[in-house]
Amino acid sequence: MAFVTTAEVCDANPQLILSGEPRALQPVFQIYGRRQVFSGPIVTLKVFEDNVLVREFLEEKGNGRVLVVDGGASLRCAILGGNPVVQAQNNGWAGIIVNGCIRDVDEINGCDIGVRALASHPMKANKKGMGEKQVPINIAGTRISDGEWLYADTDGILISRTELSV
């Protein structure tokens, strides 16, 4: 499917929007990376101020998936940096959503991948390997489950149980 804008999806599906499908994330994320428009099946991860599991996921082949990380909305350190983003780009990930902070912004902005995060922060995360993989998470006012679909562009981010078309 060719990507259509999130606004077009919302306009073409008013009945679905009223029933809560698809769901729009609250507009709290900053846009990073060269790919401003991206979509794909979601892989979820829940961590707090620890980036070991984030790095592990991004070392895998992405196959066009989007990693959605609930970092507890922490603004005390970055849980994603430039090296893992370069690796994600090279491994075929479509994008990364971080409910928390990133760092190495200039490096990330040079990568052909979509990244959204709350903010940037110079301090690095812990490396304890704590967290939960592929579990339902709640970020930006929306419950997100592993295997759902994410659509992101400069207007916002939509989550859907299935792949969307207009």
The pLDDT of residue 149 is above 90? yes
Please provide residue 159's backbone torsions phi and psi, each rounded to the nearest 5 degrees. Answer: -120, 135
76-97, pLDDT tens digit by residue?
999 999 999 999 999 999 999 9
Task: For the chain, give every domain's residue range.
Answer: 6-160
* Global pTM value: 0.94
For domain 6-160, give the CATH superfamily: Ribonuclease E inhibitor RraA/RraA-like (3.50.30.40)
Numbered residues of the known binding site for Mg(2+): 104
Burial string for 35-70 (b: 16+ CB within 10 Å, else e) reads bebbbbebbbbbbbbbbbbbbebbeeebeebbbbbb
The pLDDT of residue 118 is above 90? yes
Numbered residues of the known binding site: 81-84, 103-104
1-38, pLDDT tens digit by residue?
456 789 988 888 888 788 888 999 999 999 999 999 99
What's residue 165's pLDDT?
65
Quick check: 128 and 50 in contact, CB under 8 A?
yes
Q: Which helix (H) or strand (E) holds 143?
A: strand 142-144
Numbered residues of the known binding site for substrate: 81-84, 103
Looking up tokens 């997100």 gives: 144
37-69, pLDDT tens digit by residue?
999 999 999 999 999 999 999 999 999 999 999
Helix runs in 13-140, H state only: 14-18, 52-59, 82-90, 105-109
